[in-house]
Structure 1
Amino acid sequence: MAKEPMLKFVDVAREMPSKRDAAERAGDFREIYSEYVEQKANEQASRCSQCGVPYCQSHCPLHNNIPDWLRLTAEGRLQEAYEISQATNTFPEICGRICPQDRLCEGNCVIEQSGHGTVTIGSVEKYITDTAWDKGWVMPIAPKKERTESVGIIGAGPGGLAAADVLRRQGVQVTVYDRYDRSGGLLTYGIPGFKLEKDIVMRRNEQLEKGGVDFQLNCNVGEDLSFEYIRGKHDAVVIATGVYQTRELKAPGVGAQGVVRAIDFLTASNRKSFGDSVPEFESGELNAEGKNVVVIGGGDTAMDCVRTSIRQGATSVKCLYRRDRANMPGSQREVANAEEEGVEFVWLAAPKGFATEGDVASGVMVQKMRLGAPDATGRQSPEVIEGADYVEKADLIITALGFTPEDLPTLWEQPELEVTRWGTVKADFRTHETNMDGVYAVGDIVRGASLVVWAIRDGREAAESILARFAAAGAIAAE
């Protein structure tokens, strides 16, 4: 009898793919982790304990069948592993790179709880799908039968693209409208290349386009086309705009030159990686080279900004966060990577305003904080330490304080579109349908700023709801 290929976590230690030296990787925007070789991927997959109740799967928003594709990888049945992986996930190679596995699947791995170190789920997922692309196992979208129904999707981010993929595979006619010149949303312009190289995203965009998805780019709904026009043209509409409106500080010096928004900074950097002309980058406005940079915030966007600043050649990079390390919302893995690359974290520090010299910012006025009683979320609330203020000198200050939704009912002249008190679109959490018949909403525009994997889940579920709607309409017509 062949030796059991699994349950090797006692004998085989957890081992991530090798990471490039910090000094080397800080000089470019290429991904920092190398790829597993086949033997190492099989070995690490074999550490899975094949739990009767797989917490990794239940804590994955897509409920990916992780134990099964780990076992198939350990057995060398990689094409089957890919088929299982892609059955529940539209973009497994993207999730394998950018999902916060330490908070989701890996963070809930049973062998991690028993002290043996989690299975490297994300790295194996990335390896499986990268191999599938290399081997030609990723098949073009080819519906068995074309359908007459059409769906308009507003937003070419992960939620919109996931919905487009599911619908197109069933022969539905799909048009995606997006304000940018390339599809992908934050995958293209928000996330830096050292976490997600852009050819990975462009490859999926090309697959969707070759599969029959019609992309209407440089199209700002509400200006270039009305929402009413799109709704009238299609049998259903999916709102997948994301949230791009930056949460602003209300403090002295906010409008000073040298205080910039995270989304503008990251978009400029990513456009440069495509070879685009970016006047704001060339002028130095959105370029950290030779500057003392301060980033305000503690989420993943802040981590993207500090690590991008290092790569642009900043003289120094500091990150201010009002709580301590244990209470920050960003990935601890990203914090560790940033520290290795030379970023200094200033904990328990909150901005009070910006010091200026004329119209130019010269630093951040910082209030020192301490942690008090827990707030409604269970995290300790930061409290100001009186008399401990100081100025953190800076030439470039990047605010990464989160995002809020645009006022879609006003922008699109659709006052009947129901939104929450936070401005997000109200949608049924199962079907994703809004209060407007045939109009669905997915991703951050419903959840608020959230994870890519949740947007993918929403997009897939909304597509299934739309297909069920079309099936019901067809059954009624046939009677």
Structure 2
Amino acid sequence: MAEDLLKFVSIEQRMPTKREAAKRLHDFDEVYAEFDTEGAKEQASRCSQCGVPFCHIHCPLGNNIPDWLRLTAEGRLEDAYEMAASTNNMPEICGRICPQDRLCEGNCVIEKDFNAVTIGSVEKYIADTAWENGWVKPITPEVELDQSVGIIGAGPAGLAAAEELRKVGYQVHVYDRHDRAGGLLVYGIPGFKLEKDVVGRRTGRLEQSGITFHLDFEIGNDASLADLREKHDALLIATGVYRARGLKVPGVGLGNIREALDYLTASNRKGFGDTVPEFENGNLDAKDKNVVVLGGGDTAMDCVRTAVRQGAKSVKCLYRRDRANMPGSVREVQNAEEEGVEFVWLSGPEAFLGDENVEKVRAYRMRLGAPDATGRQAPEPVPGSAFDLDCELAVLALGFEPEDLPALFGAPELRVTRWGTVTVDHATMMSNIDGVFAAGDIVRGASLVVWAIRDGRDAATSIKKFLRAQKAKSKAA
């Protein structure tokens, strides 16, 4: 109703309660509490319901944000969830980990004068309320179809595609080399951003819906790509990109210089209660160590904030640009600083120093020069500016690249780009192999979870068209 909206003039922006840094440093629980019903309704009522909703336009999923904000303000929470879930397979996850400050909230039309609507927190509240009230039910297709789809990768792109295909009635099999479904949602993102039971209930629902998960299953060892093609009517490659981007400086081979994903995976496995030998022997545990994290994206933020929770002596983030050019979320940087992380801006690594293990990182100051090909100012070293940082654990968070899938899958015919991403027809998302599609980071390169969900949904649409065409051909034959 009209009286429930357009209250941004009279109601100030308010986030859910944020746990104090001193308290949250001792666990991996989420930083923000959840809105209560009245708080969510009040904040949703700040939406201006503008004629051209830039929040919707700048959401990769095209979420109907003003519509579910209106429904929340009116107290119609089940309808709000149905609206949110119609375009997003994981609203409770996106509400937690999307960089809303760069996407929907960053483009809210009231941001400049009145501060943005807290879209992410309301989305999280809507979805969590739906789970608590039993509104999120297993998928029950109207018909069961005899065609099957194999999906390689149980991350956000693969899971989104699996859900969309199962809704129609296809037999869906998801293959993943890890022992739990979820990909980076499970092993890459720390619990203080995304508690793991949130992912578990989503993947559990897909299992209850009749989707079959084949875990600890490695394509290339347990089956080749050709084996899966023979077994299924269509395949989707949604592996993500896991190979760490390298760094070529003297001393990089010293002990206790680790890749970000190894470090985060060990921490998340400990959170599950798994036995992790490299954590137990201290190699992947930051406790009582001077930690230096190299990188400036969201993965680097995950690493520095994990290190302080593990009891590191000091945590420094070395980044070659300044705060204004930081690719990670502004909120994540702020949270990290509150938790005691020191950012060493405009600095790059020159060498790692030590005998067997790293003892210091030698860095040099940088300045921003002429813009590079992307329009960002390119960093360049300042001569004679070297300095040393004490370091017993260095974590490289410099980004991810694709693995060599043609070799890994035993499929040399699979065409990839010069960057190693799978080559697809972007109109259909099909690779050069008939019936083999690809989606997510393995096509676009390392990106956001919300883009992976979007790509998974788009791939599912193309796969459905392909399977219907195949069925029509077989009937005509």
For the aligned pair, the TM-score class normalised by the smaller chain equals over 0.9
Q: Distance in 2 between matches of 1:376 and 1:15?
A: 39
On the 8 A contact 1:152/1:176 being kept in 2, the answer is yes
Give CA-to-partner distance per residue, 1:310-354, whole Å, 9 cap, x none: 000001100000000000110010000000000000000101110
Q: Distance in 2 between matches of 1:285 and 1:202?
A: 28
Equivalent residue, structure 1, for 2:323: 325
After TM superposition, list the pairs within 5 Å mapping 1:135-284 onto structure 2.
Answer: 135-284=133-282
Q: Do residues 408 (structure 1) and 408 (structure 2) align?
A: no
Q: Distance in 2 between matches of 1:5 and 1:33?
A: 26
Q: Do residues 475 (structure 1) and 472 (structure 2) align?
A: yes
Identical amino acids, percent of aligned pairs: 65
Q: Distance in 2 between matches of 1:364 and 1:60?
A: 39
Q: Distance in 2 between matches of 1:333 and 1:198?
A: 21
Q: Distance in 1 between matches of 2:3 and 2:371?
A: 47
Give the drift of 1:300. Answer: 0.2
Structure 1 gaps, min length 5: none
Equivalent residue, structure 1, for 2:430: 433
Q: Distance in 2 between matches of 1:474 and 1:248?
A: 46
Equivalent residue, structure 1, for 2:132: 134
* 3-state DSSP of counterpart to 2:316: strand
Give the drift of 1:429. Answer: 2.4
Q: Distance in 2 between matches of 1:190 and 1:170?
A: 31
Given residue 263 of structure 1, which amino acid in structure 2 is its aligned partner? Answer: L
1:397 to 394, 398, 404: 394
Equivalent residue, structure 2, for 1:121: 119
Q: What is the aligned-residue RMSD (CA, Å)?
A: 1.0
Equivalent residue, structure 1, for 2:25: 26
Q: Distance in 2 between matches of 1:372 and 1:344?
A: 24
On the 8 A contact 1:430/1:461 being kept in 2, the answer is no
Equivalent residue, structure 2, for 1:107: 106
Equivalent residue, structure 1, for 2:14: 15
Equivalent residue, structure 2, for 1:289: 287
* 3-state DSSP of counterpart to 2:349: strand
Give the drift of 1:205. Answer: 1.1
Given residue 420 of structure 2, which amino acid in structure 1 is its aligned partner? Answer: G
Given residue 407 of structure 1, which amino acid in structure 2 is its aligned partner? Answer: D
CA 1:3–1:171 in structure 2 vs 1: closer, same or farther (change >3 Å)?
closer
Equivalent residue, structure 1, for 2:454: 457
Give the drift of 1:406. Answer: 0.4
* 3-state DSSP of counterpart to 1:440: strand
After TM superposition, list the pairs within 5 Å mapping 1:376-395 onto structure 2.
Answer: 376-395=373-392
Give CA-to-partner distance per residue, 1:172-209, whole Å, 9 cap, x none: 01111101000100000000000000000011111111
Give CA-to-partner distance per residue, 1:23-46, whole Å, 9 cap, x none: 000110000100000001000000
On the 8 A contact 2:147/2:233 being kept in 1, the answer is yes
Give the drift of 1:413. Answer: 2.4
Given residue 389 of structure 1, which amino acid in structure 2 is its aligned partner? Answer: A
Q: Distance in 1 between matches of 2:426 and 2:126?
A: 31
Equivalent residue, structure 2, for 1:352: 350
Give the drift of 1:400. Answer: 0.3
In the superposition, the TM-score normalised over structure 1's length comes to 0.98
* 3-state DSSP of counterpart to 1:110: coil
Given residue 6 of structure 1, which amino acid in structure 2 is its aligned partner? Answer: L
* 3-state DSSP of counterpart to 1:371: strand
Q: Distance in 1 between matches of 2:436 and 2:16?
A: 43
Given residue 313 of structure 2, which amino acid in structure 1 is its aligned partner? Answer: T
On the 8 A contact 2:29/2:192 being kept in 1, the answer is yes
On the 8 A contact 1:22/1:341 being kept in 2, the answer is yes
On the 8 A contact 2:245/2:400 being kept in 1, the answer is yes
Give the drift of 1:3. Answer: 5.6
On the 8 A contact 1:64/1:89 being kept in 2, the answer is yes
On the 8 A contact 2:224/2:411 being kept in 1, the answer is no
Equivalent residue, structure 2, for 1:56: 55
Give CA-to-partner distance per residue, 1:111-138, whole Å, 9 cap, x none: 113x110000000000000000000100
Given residue 369 of structure 2, which amino acid in structure 1 is its aligned partner? Answer: G
Given residue 170 of structure 1, which amino acid in structure 2 is its aligned partner? Answer: V
Given residue 441 of structure 1, which amino acid in structure 2 is its aligned partner? Answer: A
Q: Do residues 69 (structure 1) and 100 (structure 2) align?
A: no
Give CA-to-partner distance per residue, 1:222-272, whole Å, 9 cap, x none: 112111101111000000011000011111111111111100000000000
Q: Distance in 2 between matches of 1:178 and 1:475?
A: 31
Give CA-to-partner distance per residue, 1:331-382, whole Å, 9 cap, x none: 01000000000000000010111011x2111011101101111111111111
On the 8 A contact 1:355/1:391 being kept in 2, the answer is no
Given residue 28 of structure 2, which amino acid in structure 1 is its aligned partner? Answer: F
Given residue 346 of structure 1, which amino acid in structure 2 is its aligned partner? Answer: V
Q: Distance in 2 between matches of 1:160 and 1:216?
A: 13
Q: Distance in 1 between matches of 2:289 and 2:459?
A: 45
Q: Distance in 1 between matches of 2:3 and 2:384?
A: 64
Give the drift of 1:478. Answer: 4.2
Equivalent residue, structure 1, for 2:3: 4
Give the drift of 1:430. Answer: 3.2
Q: Distance in 2 between matches of 1:477 and 1:387?
A: 72
